Amino acid sequence: MLVLRDVGKTFSNGVTALGNVNLAIGAGDFVSLLGPSGCGKSTALRLVAGLSTPTTGTIDWRAGERPDRSSIGFVFQEPTLMPWASVLDNVWLPLRLRGMSRADAMPAIRQMIDRVGLAGFESAMPRELSGGMKMRVSIARGLVTKSRLLLMDEPFAALDEITRFRLNHDLLDLWQDEKFTVVFVTHSVFESVFLSNRIVVMAARPGRVFDELTVASGYPRDEAFRTSPEYAALCRDTSQVLVGAINAGADNDRG
């Protein structure tokens, strides 16, 4: 779908967030960017979203697969809902900004709210929802434009484990049904192994791709997968690579 070629990003304060990143993301992939704080995962995501431009290198989209901005969904670490708007109006927002009236957008909104399991909460205000439900609204808003690419920046990091597991499942269901591409930034080895078919491990100072792992296990993945020896082995391997990446970043720090 897209390729990052020698992409680097240096901020005006002199901090180099990304060194030299080469990364290809295929259509339909569920790619996790895994790494310690400061490895530029979030910066990479913002570059792909077009919220920021690379200092060096290019981001190439395969012909015909470049989504216009409208078909990129972005889910932040916080739910980032408008507190003054109901669930329905929050999900409506991306369509509204494209000039679609509420009535015209209604079928898509209702379907999306239903799809993330919030039917019946359309008129609830964000403050009335739990953390997990707010995140569901955020996902619905990211996908309501029939997004082909969903960028997620540590979306479940602030949730409790049980809620996180449920959202992991539901996200995978959505992904399998709708067949969009996901780039998922996370700190969690367990989450990245459970969700993705590819894990890109990143190292810090400067942010770069350290290694890449493929998770060959098929979908659908369920609770049985979470407790299987296969999952445990994958987590162990991934953890080892991550430790290597952390040390690599720390070495550079000392040097």
The answer to whether 167 touches 198, Cβ cutoff 8 Å, is: no
Six-digit token pair at 253?
């720090």
Q: Select from 40, 67, 126, 206 the one that contacts another protein (CB under 8 A).
A: 126
Does 74 bind another protein (CB under 8 A)? Our answer is: yes
Q: Select from 96, 166, 169, 187 the one that contacts another protein (CB under 8 A).
A: 96
Between strands 72-75 and 16-25, the pairing is unpaired
Amino acid identity of 56? T
DSSP 180: -
Between strands 2-10 and 56-61, the pairing is antiparallel
CB of 71 to another protein, least distance (A): 11
Q: Is the CB of 99 or the CB of 229 nearer to another protein?
A: 99
Q: Select from 50, 146, 214, 253 the one that contacts another protein (CB under 8 A).
A: 50
**Residue recorded with tokens 């379907």:** 111
d(CA 77, CA 79): 6
DSSP 207: B
Q: Is the CB of 50 or the CB of 120 nearer to another protein?
A: 50
The answer to whether 50 touches 69, Cβ cutoff 8 Å, is: yes
Q: Is the CB of 104 or the CB of 251 nearer to another protein?
A: 104
CB of 86 to another protein, least distance (A): 9
Count of residues in contact with another protein, rule CB under 8 A: 24
Question: Of residues 136-165, which lie at the interface with another protein (CB under 8 A)?
Answer: 145
Binding mask 162-181 for another protein (x = CB under 8 A): --------------------
Q: Select from 49, 106, 157, 159 the one that contacts another protein (CB under 8 A).
A: 49
Element (H, E) at 57: strand 56-61
Does 93 bind another protein (CB under 8 A)? Our answer is: yes
Does 13 bind another protein (CB under 8 A)? Our answer is: no
d(CA 57, CA 235): 32
For the chain, the distance separating the N- and C-terminal CA atoms, rounded to the nearest angstrom, is 37
Does 94 bind another protein (CB under 8 A)? Our answer is: yes
Binding site for another protein (CB under 8 A): 46, 49-51, 69-70, 72, 74, 76, 78, 80, 82-85, 93-94, 96-98, 125-127, 145
